[in-house]
Amino acid sequence: MKYDMVMPKMGESITEGTIIKWLKQIGDTVEKDEIVLEISTDKVDSEIPTPVAGKIVELIANENDTVEVGKVIARIETEGEAESAEPVEESPVAEEKSEVTSASEPASAEAAAATEPVDTQKEEKIESTKFFSPVVLNIARTEGISAQELESIEGTGISGRVTKKDILNYVESKKSAVAAPPLSATAPATTAETATTPTPSPVISGEGVEVIPMDHIRKKIAEHMVQTVHTAAHVGLYIEIDMYNVHRIRERSKNNFYRKEGIKLTFMPFISEAVVKTLKEFPLINASIDGDNILVKHFINLGIAVDTEQGLIVPVIKNTESLNLTGIARAINDLASRARNRKLKPDEVSGGTFSISNFGVFGTKIGFPLINQPQVAILGVGGLEKRAIVVNDAIAIRPMMDISLTFDHRLIDGALGAQFLQRLKEHLENYDPELQL
């Protein structure tokens, strides 16, 4: 019988999705839960599996088509003689086997010809020694790259992992066996602060120009950043915070915390908890602007920016005020992990009331991120470093951190922004150093 595969519902607020790429074509045989296409919403990109096994007999929607949820996008011939189409249950978001890495990747324009697949036994060996995303593995199969070749590719992602751009560059270098080595292009920025979208120049042979088309998420990031620049009156302040007490708690508790919870204890849960306490005292920082109205939220949905292979994603911890420190740590770890593995639901990256951008993990001390609309403020967290400061009229070496606040001057005045930062400083510096986790 023929089975109708429909555009799946990706969240309560999502009504349509854009087909980025079909990974299977007409005539291909598919197994149940095998990834068959990549789709993108205005929130997040996802890989979608087929709910049934069979042969693809018709692709109704093409790549780059935007399709309403519930509309048929493909038909699959399954076992049986009946020709009547059956309704399809909502297809869940595909789960990737492996972790993806940082750096946003361009959309592939080359996955066309089918070649000899990677040997299965070698693929299992790859998975036991390295992480490769399904997108990378699919390109390897399509281009006939052996498991040994795949392991030899030098990765530019976190911990040296191979990204989509790495394998595409490798494929291109194999195809163009010419005297001059292929030019490498700097990967597009993946931080929330990127506010412009440069127009690629025409490709002119010999000029050393590589044109990389923006993928769907990069386009959305660019649109969102330009929107926030044109919408909000951005002002930035920063303050220096002594993290001595928090540092003592973490150093004493991190091993036991990992044994109990199975996750690393970082500084971010402490910062997030202190932010929640401070937002309760300064509710206008947790508001938004709707025309001439101020919408003050009496709940705190905290967005934590995560750098992924697809670009910057800001998953949201809903009702963060209801969680304790350990609960916040669990939520941050869970959302960040699923963001990097493309397992987030669209509802999990929407509805935020305040955001945090932790650029300090890359060694940056001070930065002023752009506001995540329709919010009115965002916190920037710098890196921790030991500095000599004056404590009780004596010089001491303390772990110090610079934290910034970018706010919308249409609603928040400088005095209020400064008071918020000062109170946040007090919360962080006054953690009980004997706190047990």
- Write out the catalytic residue numbers: 409, 413
Query: With contact defined as beta carbons under 8 Å apart, do 61 and 18 qualify?
Result: no
Distance between CA 118 and CA 144 in Å, rounded? 6
Integer Cα distance of 374 and 354 in angstroms: 9
State the Cα–Cα distance between residues 312 and 308, nearest whole angstrom.
6
CB 303 within 8 A of CB 314: yes
Q: Measured between alpha carbons, how far is 79 from 30 in angstroms, rounded to an integer?
A: 12
Q: d(Cα 212, Cα 30) in Å, to the nearest integer?
A: 31
Tell me: cis bond preceding 374? Omega within 30 of 0 counts: yes
Beta strands in 194-301 (DSSP E): 234-242, 287-290, 293-296
Residue 56's φ and ψ, nearest 5 degrees, are -75, 120
Cα gap 191→346, rounded to integer Å:
20
Neighbours of 226 (CB within 10 A): 15
Q: 64 with 84: CB under 8 angstroms? A: no
Q: Are 19 and 107 in contact (CB under 8 A)?
A: no
* CB neighbours of residue 18 within 10 Å: 18
Backbone angles phi and psi of 235, in degrees to 5: -135, 145
Tokens representing 74? 């493909």
Structure tokens, 46:
């996802």
Closest CA to 364 of 388, 387, 384: 384
